[in-house]
Structure 1
Amino acid sequence: MMAKLRVMLSTLLIVTFSMQVMAQQIKPEGIEVTGKGAVFIDPDIFIFSISLADRAMTAAQAKQVVDEKTTELLTMAKEMDITDKSIETTQMNIRPIFDRSAQQSANLYQPSLIEVSREITFILDDFSHYDPILDKAIHLGVKYISALKYQTSKADTFYRQALDAAIKDAQAKALRIANKLDLDLGKVTHMTEIPFNVPKLIMQDSLMESSSIALSSTPGKYEISAQVSLIYSITR
């Protein structure tokens, strides 16, 4: 019974493989070209996170300082008309800090300090708010500042533009090839949209340390690309 089952499985695998090979080999005849297109835009959404932290003998003491820093930063954000939906805050993070070099073996696992931290994420639609928030965070004693991420709220629209450009590029290539070979192009018999950097919504700067923040930041351009493959029939 087992031998018969193995034979049936082997036969099924061979048939499946043969069908895949035949599918790859059967392609419409004609001129096949690949076209690429891209659009360069200005991002309109800016995302970054800030971590505020403090260390103290007790979690309550550290939490009080972090709460005060958080309140001060969020108050400034509200004064800049940054809405609550543009700000995300995480729960407190509590981490014991051990100093093994100064501890006796009897209390080896007794922390010398407690670190409390909280991460705040800003989702801005006005880039002019970026530098003031960073300056305030550094003044408060920020633990770290994440890399700045760029995003566009019109990704679908811009991707369609890139796709149109890719199709035009492919059409131009096909015409050049046909003219060189003295052929007449027919209709498109096959088209494939190739996953080539399809809406890559987030573009990231190199990681910024709080000690190297520029006094004035400027967002760069943002690229959305598309790629297609066309097969044209030939009419001689």
Structure 2
Amino acid sequence: MKKLVSVLIFVSGFISANVMADPLDFPHIVTTGYGEVTAKPDMAEFSVKVLETALTAEQAKQAVDKVVDKYLSGLKKAGVKAENIHSSNLYLAPQYHYPKDGKPELTGYRANRTVNVVVNDLPKLNNYLDLALKDGINQVNNIQLKVKEEAKFKRQARMAAIRDANNKAKSLAKGFDMKLGKVWQISYNAPNTQPVVMRPMALDMRKESNSYQDSSLVIRDRVDVIYKLKN
């Protein structure tokens, strides 16, 4: 009887554990295919915060609510739909002075609220940030640049990964004078797309806020495949 020889070729430095969980007793090739697509961002999400400190809790609350209400009204007038604006509840905390000797002394209260905005018309992003500055918002937490048709770009990256796995398997089989058989197992875990994140900043950013125009979003995917080999 002809002795069966197992052929295992690692194409990448890492093969997912579930692909190699059980030893295979037939000739095979294990490949990992990678694919990526570059997309130009056409939408954004950003988060801004207003912080106020006052002698009393009520004063701090009123100061924060006044700024947030004005900003929300301005966003709606600028055409941002209500479902694309989300404001957090008020966070209020007492502020103390701690002398070296003696008990802590209450000095006032700090209040803050956060507003998250989805921007579907990317060229208007700067307008909404300028509006925040004008209305008294004093902190930008982050700006994330994204694409609306993310699913389409993910499919393109996935197909590129599949083609990469196939091409590697064909090349390896040919190089070892063997014939590539059918696919025996596919292992796939969709990676999360990472948006382009602009650095957090205070609202002194007129030179910084245009940098998103030159940004690009890279969407990546991978697939692990086991192919049978024929002698």
Q: Deviations over 1:86-123 (max 9, x none)?
A: 1111121112122334x984xx3442122222111111
Distance 1:130 1:217 in 2: 12
Q: CA–CA distance in 1 between the matches of 2:91 and 2:21? A: 55
Residue 137 (structure 1) aligns with: 132
Q: How many angstroms apart in 1 are the aligned matches of 2:201 and 2:34?
A: 33
- Is 1:42 matched up with 2:40? yes
Deviations 1:114-161 (A, max 9, x none): 222211111111222322222232344434211112344433332222
Name the CA distance, whole Å, in 2 between partners of 1:122 and 1:23: 45
Specify the structure having the higher radius of gyration (Cα). 1
Of the three residues 192, 203, 208, the one matched with 1:199 is 192
Q: 1:146 aligns with which of 141, 145, 152?
A: 141
Structure 2: distance between partners of 1:56 and 1:234: 74
Q: CA RMSD in A?
A: 2.7
Normalised by the length of structure 1, the TM-score is 0.76
How many residue pairs get aligned? The number is 211
Q: Which of 59, 64, 67 in structure 2 is aligned with 1:66?
A: 64
Change (3 A) 1:142 1:23: closer
What residue ranges of structure 1 are gaps of 5+ in the alignment? 1-19
Q: Give the whole-Å Cα distance in 2 for the aligned partners of 1:172 and 1:178.
A: 10
- Measure the CA separation in 1 of the matches of 2:186 and 2:52: 58
SS in 2 for 1:81: coil
What is the percentage of aligned positions where both structures have the same residue?
25
Q: Which residue of 2 aligns with 1:167?
A: 162
Task: Assess, with a 3 A threshold, how the Cα gap between structure 1 residues 181 and 98 changes in structure 2: closer, same or farther.
Answer: same
State the SS of the aligned residue for 2:123: helix
* Correspondence list, 1:204-223, <5 A: 204-212=197-205, 214-219=208-213, 220-223=215-218
The question of whether the paired residues in 2 share the 8 Å contact of 1:55 and 1:113 is answered with yes
Give the stretch that moved more between structures: 80-89 or 49-58: 49-58
Instruction: Give the Cα–Cα distance (whole angstroms) in 2 for the partners of residues 125 and 87 of structure 1.
Output: 12
What whole-Å deviation, never above 9, does each CA across 1:37-88 have from its counterpart, x for those lacking one?
1112233442121111222222222222222212221222112100111111
Relative to structure 2, which stretch is displaced further, 199-208 or 37-46? 199-208
Which whole-Å CA distance do the structure 1 matches of 2:36 and 2:226 have between them?
A: 21
- What TM-score do you get using the length of structure 2 for normalisation? 0.78
List gaps (5 residues or longer) in structure 2: 1-17
